[in-house]
Amino acid sequence: MKLLDGKVAIVTGAGGGLGRCHALALVAAGAKVVVNDVGGSRDGTGGGSSMAEAVVGEIQKAGGTAVANTDSVSDPAGAERIVQSALQAFGRLDILVNNAGILRDKSLPKMEDGEWRPVIAVHLDGSFFCGRSAARCMKDNNVAGRIINTTSYAGLVGNFGQSNYGAAKAGIAGLTRVWAQELSKYGITVNALAPMAKTRMTEDIDAIPGEMTPEMVSPLVVFLASDLAKGVNGKILGAHGRHYFEYKTVLTPGVKKESDWTVQEIAEKFGAICGEGAPPPAALKMPESLTERIKLAFQLMEKAFTPEKAKGWKAVLHFFIEGADNYTIGVDEGKAAIRPGHEGSATCQVRVAAATLADMIEGKLSGVQAFMSGKIKANNLNDLKRFGEVFDFKRARAAATQGAAPAPATVPVAGPDLAPVMERLPQAFLPDRAAGWNGKVVFDAAGTPGWTLTIQDKQCSVAPGKAADATCTISGPAEVLGDVLTGKVDFMQAAGKLKANNVPAVLKLKQAIDWAKLKSSAWAAPAPAASTGLNRALVGKKYKSGALFVRPEKIRAYLAATLNEAAAPDVAPPLFPVTLIPDLFRAIVADDHRGDLSRVVHGEQRMRFGAPLRSWDLVTPRGTIAAIDAKETGEIMHVDQDLYCEGKLAVEMRTSLFFRGTQPKSASSSPAAPEKPAGKKLFSTSVTVPEDLSRRYAAVSGDDNPIHIDPEAAKAVGLPGVILHGLCTMALATSAIVEHLGGDASRIEELAVRFSSVVQPGDTLTTEGYEVEPKRIAFVTTNQSGKAVLTNGAARIR
């Protein structure tokens, strides 16, 4: 059986050159082909049926099946007739190869309308008209078809004398990417080729060697037309003879400013904006052998060590590395010792695969991502967290690839410790006095890592290190900075000992800090222990992830993982949208929020719904850290995640994450038995949590935090064992509301809950709903012991 047996293809411009070779190759793979060609010259003049009929004769002589068509692709009616010819001759259409084209080259000053419009019409309009007719046919007949467009180097890179041709081919590349998104939900893939071969169209271009024949390109067409490429979509592939590759749009790192750009600044930074002036960072070369890669990784640990961040930390970490040798890292008094094998009594055992650790060293995987996905495990998460803070792999890579000379790991930081006072500065911040001023002030003192104080939108934060885009840098001895920052000495009094490169910024800083408050305590006093120090500079920061389709198979898997197999798989249930944001949420969690992930719990969840999401809706996730609130026992970070469907806001979600402080709760803070909401009781529904539900929900939701799937990891953070995701518990409770509404989930406009206690496999959950006012249901979910697991439950009904 051949690769394309039973398939029907249309190839436009198939009377010669690349189109002819594509048609022959498709027939050789088993397809029946419509050979379309108007029979004109390469500039589009003239016409006739001889070219198309000649190729059909060639195919038939070889034992294949084909019919000729001479309609013009640039005519909408002609494009429709081309598609109808496939249906009339063979009863179906599976493949469209948009290949027809003409050339009328002239430089811009010499190009006339008669040279511009026909080229655009044949290439761009022709691809659109044929693509539209073919897509409608495939969709209406439920055919998982293939559309293969033809773009060009001239459109993707540029070529002298081809404004018309280059513009058309660039447009075709754009059509390809858009169609790939739009038609995916029908199972139709759309890709494009940018071929280079010696044909009638390119016979006078000396840069294309004669040995680059059209036959070298056609195997790529057959591949894209076949089921071997069913997962290939939206690609722009180049073919220079037998050299195949992909064209990709690459963004430079660019330059970001906190304030508005001036024209002069753009001129000064333009080279950097365009990625010029400095070579890109060298890639860290890692050996092939995993053992050697890990050996190099632990050599780099010495360069990664940042002693100023290790103060007060004493630990012995034993690394159990699957696929490589084991190692020990000891940290004490701002020094680190790295040894092969296991030495001493471990305060923390870390288990990780060699490939995972190498990816972390190379920057392919962050420590947070590794932990959240269960790829790295430890029996002491505080030590693991400090390890991630103290060992800066980015610094190690820079040292290894650029020859940088970081401070030796065995040399303690000189001078007084500025960390305590720097951490206290935000507590003395006066936001009203900073209105209208945003800036970054770097405090640079010898013997310290330097510190950056950021004021943004009346929020103040401090972080170790020196920001490259500082508004102002203040430098001088650490002792003098310490006296100034505690209010003992005024900035002006220290002017002879300190240097500042932006005096107005210093004056603004002076008025934005309550120096009297700082003066009231010794400058080395530690920051209050109750604060977990979440990074308030992140408030307002926006995050995004790529657009994605609501796939019916994912809805079905979610329904099964939330015990709702009987629900309609073409309409997403209320909590399903949380499965569309894992990449977005990981980006937020992996950011520098400075929170201890071993002490974070999901506090509350609120959701507001527009129309329900349906199969094949195209949604775009966007996120923001909305606020950070201080509580007596910790801090709460409120994260907003929005889903836009076809450009309209479809779902609003707010997730409140509670970062527990180090102080234990008092006995009186233990949760009491839940109070039943006031109002008429509407329903009471019970469900027993299956033993494997947490693992099933992790697979479908993308939330594979090890506390949900690994008993050892769960116990390491003080849990009794694996616990169910809070959002899965919320989904089970929501199902009871949907059942009460007769199965019509679209009637739910808003949902909100507070997560009060963990749920384990085997627990029996009972959700009770009460009508507290018209169109508002209050609900509470308890376990088999009567303990509340969801409280403050509220649903607003349409």
Beta carbons within 10 angstroms of residue 364's beta carbon: 11
SS3 per-residue string spanning 651-672: EEEEEEEEEECCCCCCHHHCCC
**Cα–Cα distance for residue pair 521/515, rounded to 1 Å:** 11
Q: Which of 750, 709, 747, 713 is nearest to 728 (CA)?
A: 709
- Return the residue matching tokens 């606020």: 627
Positions annotated as catalytic residues are 165
Q: How far apart are the first and last CA of the chain?
A: 56
Pairing of strands 680-688, 548-549: unpaired
Contact between residue 65 and residue 89 where contact means Cβ atoms under 8 Å apart = no
Contact call for residues 148 and 193 (beta carbons, < 8 A): yes
Amino acid at 186: Y
Distance of alpha carbon 359 from its chain centroid, rounded? Answer: 18
| Cα dihedral: 400, 401, 406, 411 (round 10) | 10
| DSSP label of 281 | P
The structure tokens listed for 356 are 């995972």
- Give the angle 244-246-252 at the CA atoms, nearest 5°: 145
The Cα-based distances of 779 to 354, 649, 685, 734, 796 in angstroms read 48, 27, 11, 9, 11
Q: Which residue has 């001895």 as its token pair?
A: 477
| HEC secondary structure over 282-349 | CCCCCCCCHHHHHHHHHHHHHHHECHHHCCCCCEEEEEEEECCCCEEEEEECCEEEEEECCCCCCCEE
Q: Are 706 and 377 in contact (CB under 8 A)?
A: yes
Please name which of 350, 312, 311 lies closest in space to residue 329, comparing C-alpha atoms. Answer: 350
| b/e map 310-333, b = 16+ CB within 10 Å | beebebbbbbebeebeebbbbbee
- Report yes or no: 671 and 548 within 8 Å, Cβ to Cβ: no
Query: Phi then psi for 755, rounded to 5 degrees?
Result: -90, 115
Residue 88, CB half-sphere, CA atoms under 13 Å: how many?
A: 10
To the nearest 10°, report the CA torsion of 738, 743, 746, 747: -60
DSSP character at residue 678? S
Quick one: which of 122, 121, 149, 123 has its CA closest to 135?
A: 149
Q: Which two tokens stand for residue 187?
A: 């199972």
**Residues listed for the chain:** 798
Q: Which residues of 248-262 are buried (b: 16+ CB within 10 A; e: fewer)?
A: eeeeeeebeeeeeee
Cα–Cα distances (Å) from 14 to 47, 67, 147, 597, in that order, read: 14, 11, 15, 61
Between vectors from CA 149 to CA 144 and to CA 151, what angle results, nearest 5°?
Answer: 155
List CB contacts of 714: < 8 A, sequence separation 6 or more: 706, 707, 708, 720, 721, 722, 723
Cα Dmax for the chain = 98
DSSP-assigned beta bridge partners for residue 377 = 351
